[in-house]
Amino acid sequence: MASDAPVAGRRITPAELSARKGGVPIVCLTAYTYPIARLLDPHVDLQLVGDSVAMVLHGHPTTLGATMDMMIAHGQAVMRGSSRACVVVDMPAGSYEDTVENAVACAQRIVRETGCHAVKLEGGVAIAAQIAAIVAAGIPVMGHIGLLPQSVEKEGGYKIKGRSEANAELLYADAKAVEAAGAFSVVIEGTVEPVAAEITRRIAIPTIGIGASAQCDGQILVIDDAIGLTVDRTPKFVKEYALLRDTVSKAAEDYARDVRSRAFPGPEHLFSLSKDKA
């Protein structure tokens, strides 16, 4: 079992992350763009191109607005900006649920067109066959159980999981199914702490928590939430490590004032007839 963080400058693989079970916690953040991927890459073990991009960057009300083309475009951008972290791309709703064959074909397209290192699917027992088939096709899979954002309409909202014994048992079954299908890790989202901690003890693959438990083998947050760029409601489980929405708003306010007063552009921003340095 690995106990040390991966060596900087070398690409981290899904297999290496799987070996981190019970060791140094795995650091994960979402990324959707080239500059953010560049900035995160030295500090994280895994960058997830989450279908949350539909909400965070495209303004959709749920992650159901994500499409294959959207996920691939953002996956390509993140891969251009990353040279060290393991990059995982979410499979959007509708790309894997209907048939095993379609799930494999869509996973193959994502990997082929982005060069990412793994894909992520939501669900447990219900999609174990899809996970197993994608893994058998040579593509590493990250699972996702607990609160499933792609099921928000079916469930009538975002509902915290594990609050009843019956629901906890379903989550344990989902975790075991994802593990047995060959996933290298599993995200546990929106699940009460004792149940998330117990799932982590019961399975041999790393658990990645988001609104789950500090006992998980790693943690993930949406990058815009973590740096205070979220302009709508910030979830309870988020810790804001910066308040960039205030910085951006203030910069726009200062810029608008300078433009209206003709203070910008100043002489130092303009070109003259002499040969200025570019």
User: What is the per-residue burial (b if ≥16 Cβ within 10 Å, else e) of 94-103?
Assistant: ebbbeebeeb
Tell me which residue of 154, 225, 152 sits closest to 190, measured CA to CA: 152
Active site residues: 189
Distance CA 87, CA 11 (A): 10
Q: How many CA atoms lie within 13 A of 179 on its CB side?
A: 18
The tokens describing 118, both together, are 């793994």
Scanning the structure block, which residue is given the tokens 């959007």? 92
For 74, phi then psi, to 5°, come to -75, -35
Sequence length of the chain is 278
Cα–Cα distances (Å) from 164 to 21, 152, 187, 214, 215, in that order, read 27, 19, 20, 21, 20
Instruction: Label residue 80 exposed, middle or buried (CB < 10 Å: 0-12, 13-18, 19+).
Output: middle
Q: Is the peptide bond before 206 cis (omega within 30 degrees of 0)?
A: no
User: What are the tokens at 19?
Assistant: 């070996």
Could you give the C-alpha distances from 106 to 93, 99, 125, in angstroms and in order? 11, 11, 20
Beta-carbon contacts of residue 55 (< 8 Å; ≥ 6 apart): 61, 62, 63, 65
